[in-house]
């Protein structure tokens, strides 16, 4: 296979992988050794995400008609693409935690739901609570008014029963 055919195949494969991906983060992986890259890939796979080191020229051709095409300036120097179709918060958390532990990779640019994000937005996404925690909080907030109502009604009922009991005691003492 010629070099041109091989590069064309790489472009087509990368394009196919990224076509239906709404969330992708471009990172500079300088300083990341093979063992570190393997560990990062493993952690990302656990979150249904992928990490792919790409040549910038191949990546630029592969993303030409995708949302990542608007981030052409970020495809300089060593670049890797971390992407997922599922949970962008988990992807951002893994990248951020891994970067804290290993001082690499560093955020370059990204798209979330097909729209470009800044470094600040990436940090905000990485700081969001996990999906399960958000669901638990939402469930608690939905149940809280019902719990409050039940407690209030229970208090009213208790007061009513106490009042009836007092009336009964007064009648018994009065000989009625």
Q: What's the pLDDT at 39? A: 92
Q: Do 15 and 71 reside in the same domain of the chain?
A: yes
Q: How would you write the chain as a 3-class SS string?
A: CCHHHHHHHHHHHHHHHHCCCCEEEEEECCCCCHHHHHHHHHHHHHCCEEEEEECHHHHHHHCCCCHHHHHHHHCCCCEEEEEECCCHHHHHHHHHHHHHHHCCCEEEEEEECCEEECHHHHHHHHHCCCHHHHHHHHHHHHHHHHHHHHHHHHHHHHHHHHHHHHHHHHHHHCCC
Q: Do 97 and 78 reside in the same domain of the chain?
A: yes
Q: What is the pLDDT of residues 43-72, one digit of tens each?
A: 999 999 999 988 999 999 998 888 888 888
| Cα–Cα distance measured from residue 54 to residue 72, given in angstroms and rounded to the nearest whole number | 14
* pLDDT over 90 at 42, yes or no: yes
Residue with tokens 């992807």: 91
Q: Do 21 and 86 reside in the same domain of the chain?
A: yes
* pLDDT over 70 at 176, yes or no: no
Q: Do 42 and 106 reside in the same domain of the chain?
A: yes
Which domain range does residue 25 map to? 3-128
Q: How many domains, the chain?
A: 2
Q: What's the pLDDT at 23? A: 92
Q: Do 82 and 150 reside in the same domain of the chain?
A: no
């Amino acid at each position: 296979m010629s070099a041109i055919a091989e590069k064309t195949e790489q472009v087509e494969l990368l394009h196919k992988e990224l076509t239906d991906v709404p969330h992708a983060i471009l990172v500079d992986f300088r300083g990341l050794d093979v063992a570190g890259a393997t560990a990062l890939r493993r952690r990302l796979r656990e979150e249904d995400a992928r990490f792919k080191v790409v040549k910038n020229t191949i990546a630029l051709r592969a993303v030409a008609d995708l949302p990542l095409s608007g981030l052409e300036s970020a495809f300089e120097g060593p670049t890797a693409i971390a992407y997922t179709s599922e949970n962008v918060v988990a992807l951002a958390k893994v990248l951020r935690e891994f970067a804290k532990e290993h001082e690499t990779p560093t955020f370059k640019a990204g798209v979330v739901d097909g729209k470009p994000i800044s470094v600040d937005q990436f940090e905000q996404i990485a700081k969001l609570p996990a999906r399960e925690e958000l669901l638990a909080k939402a469930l608690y907030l939905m149940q809280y008014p019902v719990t409050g109502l039940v407690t209030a009604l229970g208090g009213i009922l208790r007061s009513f029963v106490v009042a009836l009991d007092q009336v009964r005691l007064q009648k018994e003492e009065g000989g009625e």
